[in-house]
Amino acid sequence: MNTKDDEHDMQFIEEGRRMLAVQRFHVLEGVSSGNIHHHEELFTTCWSEVAELRNADEPDTGSIVLLPDYYSLDDLRRFTDIYVQRPLSWLGVDSCFEVATLQRESMAIRFLHKLSDIPDLPPKQQ
């Protein structure tokens, strides 16, 4: 096994941990880029999730907001940066959250709260 395989394994494990941390799901059908009313609904949903995660204050938890009708990944990234990530930084709580804009089958914003590091395994005994 080479180093590149090890890096891919770690990425796979990290992404799996992130998927398992997601406990809340929202699907905002009909929300698309370019409509101010849709941005208001997305903004409200995102910040209600931030508040929910912060109030629960449990590590390794998360939420995902799915946007099946959103058509521009660049617009969603811009929205996430301007309306979520920057304000979290201004509020001084950005270190508690990992916020990512994703695109698989549909677009999404994922919120992870206090994601811990992978624990080190004890060395194998021979």
Work out the pLDDT band at 15, boundaries 50, 70, 90. confident
> Tens digits of per-residue pLDDT, 45-58?
999 999 999 999 99
Cα 33 to Cα 68: distance, rounded to the nearest angstrom: 11
Sequence spans of domains, the chain: 21-113
- pLDDT of 2 > 70? The answer is no
> pTM of the entire structure?
0.83
Average pLDDT, the chain: 87
In angstroms, rounded to a whole number, what is the distance separating the alpha carbons of residues 4 and 15? Answer: 17
Q: For 19-45, what is each residue's pLDDT tens digit?
A: 888 999 999 998 877 767 778 999 999
Judge contact between 22 and 110, C-beta under 8 A. Answer: yes
Nearest alpha-carbon partner for 67 in 91, 34, 84, 42: 42
User: 21-113: which CATH topology?
Assistant: Translation Initiation Factor IF3 (3.30.110)
